[in-house]
Amino acid sequence: MKKKVILLVICLILIAINIILINNKSNKGNEKELNNNLEILGKEFYKSYYKTQCETQENLEEFLKEFEETGITINLSNLSNVLKDTEHKKLIDSMYNSKTKAYCDYKKTNVTIYPKSPYGVEDYTIKTYLECGF
């Protein structure tokens, strides 16, 4: 009888551990997805808006070189003002923590773009920052 109780307790503990691990894994998956979505939005901003606006400047390379170290930071709020098409609006609207159901903070969630020489459309690196309750 004691063996059955001990076996039952062990099984319950293993089930609880599996549930905890699955929940943590699914939440981290959402964080990765949000980082990927934010990176997509940052790339689109740089390619379609920022780079286009800057190309009218005489010294584009000099201008972008100033941001090589500090980067160009744009928050989710500003991204939503610039990227208004349906595809990007859906990405912006989906920026929430699936576990807590908390939406990402539109002022604090941001992407920083670091232009790199020779300052072409694809010459940059991106870092994302999420403020979504993770």
User: pLDDT (tens digit, 9 = 90+) per residue, 74-109?
Assistant: 999 999 998 888 888 898 998 989 888 889 999 999
**Average pLDDT value for residue range 12-23:** 60
| Residue type present at position 111 | V
Q: pLDDT at position 63, please?
A: 79
Give dist(CA 128, CA 27) in Å, integer: 17
Q: What angle do CA 114, 116, 46 make, to 5 degrees?
A: 55
Bigger pLDDT: 116 vs 7? 116
Q: pLDDT at position 119, please?
A: 81
Contact (CB, 8 A) for 128 and 73: no
Confidence of residue 20 (pLDDT cuts 50, 70, 90): low
Q: What does the block give as tokens for 58?
A: 């005489």
